[in-house]
Structure 1
């Protein structure tokens, strides 16, 4: 068995996805998980249980070395550089720079001293039609975790 990294596995997933014309939604259905979780897992941010890795691998015609890499524990949140340069990802960085202090204040005012979990977490990306141009709706849904003193 080869020593394929999670990054190499993610590249293989993206290449096969394009080659075979498969969507993230189709992969999520095959894996039996939400589309955001499945996408993150196939891009290397979650370890995939064997059955889920196998289901994705069958649909994408992936080899055993890639399936093994999909099952490995990831180093989460590891980007190539500290500030993302990809325009789509940079916009989220920009949103946090502009609205991060506001989000923090509103969380503390509504819930008290604590944080939003990124572990007990759900993510959804959807489209909202708008006469001035469709809108991207990103829902970040994390459990509130109070600080324990």
Structure 2
């Protein structure tokens, strides 16, 4: 068995993520810088590195070249991921927990307003885009998170 095949058999998504994050840190590159080279949005590139999106062969090869990591990592980036990387328990990381808290406090508000505007249905997490921006503010910088998902009405049959 070739060394490449051996590595493919033992390298999983989590290990590939660890390798990529370590190389990104070592090179001092931002997701924005990587996204400009790959031709995708910074949040999508972050999702792919973290194992939540599938890269094309060209995107994966570009990333491993930029980060100067073993090319076998590119094969892992092209595999279909298991979506949803968090445990089902309430997250304890403070930043991730705040998103959980936002859903706990405002989830019914999201639902009520969206369904008033669009009808009964959901916002797609498949036909979906996300953007994260920084807004400077004299009272403390602001985080702007935009969720942009296609509305999917419930069907009647």
* TM-score w.r.t. length of structure 1: 0.96
- Say if 2:152 is the partner of 1:145: yes
1:3-42 alignment runs, 5 A limit: 3-42=10-49
- Does residue 74 (structure 1) correspond to residue 81 (structure 2)? The answer is yes
Runs (5+) with no aligned partner, structure 1: none
Give how far 1:62 is off: 1.4
Distance in 1 separating the partners of 2:41 and 2:57: 17
Tell me how far apart the structure 1 counterparts of residues 64 and 136 of structure 2 sit (CA, whole Å).
34
Secondary structure in 2 matching 1:18: helix
Aligned-residue CA RMSD in angstroms? 1.1
Distance in 2 (CA, whole Å) between partners of 1:22 and 1:70 is 19
- Structure 1: distance between partners of 2:89 and 2:59: 31
User: Relative contact order, CA 8 A, sep 6+: which one is greater?
Assistant: 1
Give the distance between the partners of 2:127 and 2:88, measured in 1 at CA.
26
Bigger Rg, which one: 2
Number of residue pairs the alignment of both structures matches: 149
Which segment drifts farther, 109-118 or 76-85? 76-85
**2:125 equivalent among 118, 135, 140:** 118
Instruction: Tell me the distance in 1 between the aligned counterparts of 2:67 and 2:88.
Output: 29
TM normalised by structure 2 equals: 0.91
> Deviation per CA, 1:69-114, whole angstroms, max 9, x where unpaired?
1111000112145321111111100100000010000011000000
The unaligned stretches of length 5 or more in structure 2 are: none
Corresponding residue number in structure 2 for 1:61: 68
1-structure distance, mates of 2:94, 2:34: 25
Superposed structure 1 runs of 4+ greater than 2 Å apart: none
1:64, CA displacement in angstroms?
Answer: 2.4
SS in 2 for 1:130: coil
